[in-house]
Amino acid sequence: MKKLVALSAFIAMSMGLKAQTMQWYNTPQKWSADHNKINVTVDPGTDYWQVTHYGFIRDNGPFYFQEQEGDFTATVKITGHYKELFHQAGLMIRKDAKNWIKTGIEYVDGVQNVSAVVTREVSDWSVVPRHDSPKSMWLKLLRKGDYVQIEYSFDNKKFDMLRLAYFPPGGKVQIGPVAAAPGKLPFDVVFEEFKVVAEK
């Protein structure tokens, strides 16, 4: 059963941001948060997907989010110990079950792939394979007007654009770290330095 659990304030550690209230959608069995670090053991049998190709709907991955209005940039550092096909970790922006984008690393055939799934009623999926198995990656997600732009880096200096996608404008959205393990094995992931900065 899906869980939406209100938690105590999550304190942003940089740029003087105010404390933000973070919540779990689908709380994992094992997790901890300390200042700017979130440790999660991702439960197996979890995923996000809508219909395309596979013919099923999944909406049960752990998602640690804050609510945000207007234009903003969200950033995070991700370090995952991927083991099994489709193990994944990254960021999600979400209006509801049929309007969301998740992006990050997805593990496919022993290779880490920079990945984005854009869902508007049905899901699509795009990847950039990485054969060097980087230890960590940094994500930058810009929401502005009617689009989301996704950039990624492996040194937190040089960022490359992965995707620019339509996203319904206006209103409040959920934004934060997300992960999933659709198969039989759990895996551990660490999210660091998550922050959301309003754009003018």
Question: Number of structural domains, the chain?
Answer: 1
Give pLDDT tens digits along the chain (200 positions). 343 433 333 333 333 344 569 999 999 999 999 989 999 999 999 999 999 999 999 999 999 999 999 999 999 999 999 999 999 999 999 999 999 999 999 999 999 999 999 999 999 999 999 999 899 999 999 999 999 999 999 999 999 999 999 999 999 999 999 999 999 999 999 999 999 999 98
What gap in Å lies between CA 84 and CA 184, rounded to an integer?
8
CATH number, domain of 33, equals 2.60.120.200
What gap in Å lies between CA 105 and CA 87, rounded to an integer?
8
DSSP state of 200: -
* CA proximity to 37, closest of 169, 192, 186, 196: 192
Domain carrying residue 18: 4-198
